[in-house]
Chains A and B, each alone.
Chain A
């Protein structure tokens, strides 16, 4: 209490010497972590399976665990999207965070109240999407990339009927050009609706003055990134609820 009062009186000098305060902390944490790591390494052996054999493909073939979120996305998107475009967008999206977040509050301290939507967005992207997809890929996928409970025995002969159809077919289109036109319109509607909703949402929670300060460029980048991020749960919902395989089918790309 007395110290708090003293700190309040002398706000300019809240610095302490790196030696010993910070160095001592680093030393102790280093010791603790190295001991823990050594114990871990003594008790659990790193895996080493049979020699590499390019002619014998294991089922399932799983990527390293930190990429299983991307492999799990392959269920919902084609490889060019799930494996290349979306990961690149994740990296770009992370990089632009400091430039699109112009909220001056919460710089250098924990606070939820003033940065509620920023933190919730990060939570959605990192914890809900990225970590959950890794969990599903790691613990719930077996042979044929079929779903299994972690305690369930993997049955390599499990057959899951592939009843998925493309969205235009589901709605009733049979002609290629009408299907493609319908698909493009649907994708256009998805983008427009999401971006407009995002605009109204920002207007409601942050106000008009903020939007003007934020600017067109920052808003557009954020809106497009959020729309693309939400395309994963959207596609997942379409697949799981309506067995939709693709939304757009062309000879070059499928979405």
Chain B
């Protein structure tokens, strides 16, 4: 036995190594299963999947890619959070600083924004694919419902993030998008039957969303928390449910 083999053997059979890696890497059926079942991340998958479900022309990879885009926005978003203050006086200046003076600041911001757009396109295509393959049919009906909620959350994540640059594009796009809320029947002050409920410009559905009667510094903080904490938290919980149910029910496919 050469010296190198001896060193390798010493490492692989050491107490520390064995405490971390519980199985070998030889290509055996047992190790293939262990690879998935003893790894918390890969354990999102079942140990075995049906042959057709792996093919790209069946899945279009869209569900997985939507999740990948979510992860990209989380990673780049954390980077952006280090340099961004959700305060009206600072927010725009911080954007300029991020773009022009931060190492990789512009790249991180670009990736964050384009990944967010891609996530929306991917989630729509995922829904389309799931519809075409009838994958929402029994026993996966409820997972489709969870998926619709995730679709809405994806749009809201993107929408709340739209305000944060605090530039003209941001406040006016969010103003136009949020003006719908003031037209909510009963709950918006410009909506039908608002008088019966007593909704007014500073006490209605839009004011609840904005944290005040107009879009302003309070809205910025509110959208920041919705964007960075609240919606990602809710979406993560629903994603766990979504993935778990696929894991339990298996990938859809023709009956054998």
How many A-B pairs have beta carbons closer than 8 Å: the answer is: 234
Given that A16-B48, A18-B47 are known contacts, is A80 also in contact with B168, CB under 8 Å in the complex? no
Chain A residues with Cβ below 8 Å from B193 are 252
Size band of the interface chain A makes with B: 35 or more
Chain B residues with Cβ below 8 Å from A26 are 61, 64
A154 at the interface (CB under 8 A from B): no
B171 at the interface (CB under 8 A from A): yes
Of B49, B58, B144, B181, which is within 8 A of A21 by CB? B49
B184 at the interface (CB under 8 A from A): yes
A196 at the interface (CB under 8 A from B): no
Contact present for A54 and B214 (CB under 8 Å): yes
For B134, give the chain A residue with the smallest CB separation: A106
Chain B residues with Cβ below 8 Å from A71 are 176-177
B72 at the interface (CB under 8 A from A): yes
Number of interface residues of B (CB under 8 A): 95
Contact present for A107 and B42 (CB under 8 Å): no
A22 at the interface (CB under 8 A from B): yes
In angstroms, Cα B169 to Cα A34, docked, is 27
In angstroms, Cα B128 to Cα A126, docked, is 9
A85 at the interface (CB under 8 A from B): yes
In angstroms, Cα B57 to Cα A165, docked, is 51
27 contacts between A and B (CB under 8 A): A21-B54, A22-B45, A25-B61, A30-B64, A33-B65, A37-B111, A49-B167, A49-B169, A50-B167, A53-B168, A80-B184, A83-B180, A84-B181, A84-B184, A84-B191, A87-B180, A98-B142, A103-B137, A105-B134, A107-B137, A107-B252, A108-B134, A108-B251, A108-B255, A109-B134, A109-B254, A253-B185
Q: Which A residues form the contact surface with B (CB < 8 A)? A: 11-12, 14-23, 25-26, 29-30, 33-34, 37-38, 40-42, 44-54, 56-58, 61-64, 66-67, 70-71, 78-80, 82-85, 87, 91, 94-95, 97-99, 101, 103-111, 115, 119, 122, 126, 252-253
